[in-house]
Amino acid sequence: MNIRTEEQKRQLQNRINRLEGQLRGISRMIAEERECGEVLQQLTAARSALQVTIEVFLEEMVRDCLIEDGIDPDTRRKLAGEMLAIVRKV
């Protein structure tokens, strides 16, 4: 799947950049020996942000790869199977 529009690409890149910032902040917290509860809270926030990013990306994938007109049923089934296999690994 290619990201179709510059806007989709920009939004996804913004999410990734925020995640990178969160992870750098968590790394600093660990280096500074911050309270375990604070670090855990930030880790779970980062996990949640990553999950939302995955969901947004998956939604675009489904829309672009499975719902798009002009895709033959065999290709559609193959793509759906590949997506499910990837999601099930998580």
Higher pLDDT: 40 or 55? It is 40
Average pLDDT, integer, range 27-43: 97
Task: Identify the pLDDT of residue 82.
Answer: 85
Separation in Å, CA 13 to CA 9, 42, 84: 6, 20, 24
Residue where the block lists tokens 């499910």: 84
Task: Identify the pLDDT of residue 4.
Answer: 72
Which domains occur in the chain, in start order? Answer: 6-89 (1.20.58.1000)
Task: Identify the pLDDT of residue 86.
Answer: 84
pLDDT tens-digit map of 70-80: 778 888 888 88
- What tokens does 29 get? 């917290």
Task: Identify the pLDDT of residue 70.
Answer: 75
Task: Identify the pLDDT of residue 90.
Answer: 65
- What tokens does 63 get? 């829309």
